[in-house]
Amino acid sequence: MRVVGRFPDQRQASGFIDSIKNAGFDRKDLIVSNPAEDKHYNSLKDAAEDMIFIKSERDGLGDYGSFADGVEGLEGRTGIIVAVEAPKHSADRIRSIMEQSGAVEIVRD
């Protein structure tokens, strides 16, 4: 399961990342995305040459976009998106750390 939070600025997102690592979660379990810095491309070839992007099971060949576009409820929102992949029993703990770090929106994905 994933818990996804939207933070208004980089300082708060960084604070959350530090806190979640101190709570015993590994950096490899996190996805961080800043939709404001995501670019739009005319072709998949252009996108592949300029950036590394994450494919998910919902993506078809030739589909690409920001990570936030794939999280229901966060499409088109501004801020820093941080997702934590963790066992279901850890979700409430992660949510609490997100709230303490200043997340303005939290969803389970």
CATH (domain of 44) = 3.30.70
pLDDT of residue 94: 96
pLDDT tens for the chain, residues 1 to 109 = 999 999 998 899 999 999 999 999 998 899 888 766 554 444 445 545 554 444 444 455 455 555 655 666 665 667 888 999 999 999 999 999 999 999 999 998 7
CA 34, CA 80: separation in Å to the nearest integer?
Answer: 5
**Are residues 7 and 13 in contact, defined by beta-carbon separation less than 8 angstroms?**
yes
Residue 96's domain comprises 2-108
Q: Whose CA is closest to 107, among 76, 78, 83, 80?
A: 83
pLDDT value for 76? 60
Give residue 97's pLDDT: 97
When divided into structural domains, the chain yields a total of 1
Q: What global pTM score does this model have?
A: 0.70
